[in-house]
């Protein structure tokens, strides 16, 4: 299976990081959904067309604070 690509280069980098960490990535009409590989099945949505210029920074902060983003893969 190949890694999905986002049109925005900065957000594509976030998808790439998630893919490397073992997260499952699905796409809906308006957003991407990142699914954590842990037993608790955390997920985070990523907008296809964000309007906030600090969206990537805020997204990475939320991922780091509310999910197991920083944990090592088992």
Q: Quick: pLDDT tens for 8-20.
A: 888 899 899 889 8
Average pLDDT over residues 24-31: 88
Instruction: Give the model's confidence band at 30: pLDDT under 50 very low, under 70 low, under 90 confident, else very high.
Output: confident
Domain residue ranges in the chain: 9-66
DSSP calls for 7-67: SSHHHHHHHHHHHHTT-EEEE-SSEEEEE-SSTT--EEEEESS---TTHHHHHHHHHHHHS
Average pLDDT over residues 44-58: 91
The mean pLDDT of 34-45, rounded to a whole number, is 87
pLDDT band per the 50, 70, 90 thresholds, residue 33: very high
The size of the chain, in residues, is 74
**Model pLDDT, residue 61:** 92
**Burial level of 56, CB count in 10 A (0-12/13-18/19+)?**
middle
């Amino acid at each position: 299976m190949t890694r999905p690509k986002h049109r925005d280069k900065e957000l594509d980098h976030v998808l790439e990081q998630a893919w490397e960490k073992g997260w499952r990535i699905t796409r809906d009409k308006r957003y991407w959904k990142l699914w954590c590989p842990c037993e608790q099945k955390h997920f985070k949505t990523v907008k296809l067309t964000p309007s906030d210029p600090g969206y990537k920074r805020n997204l990475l902060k939320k991922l780091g604070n509310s999910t197991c983003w920083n944990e090592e893969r088992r």
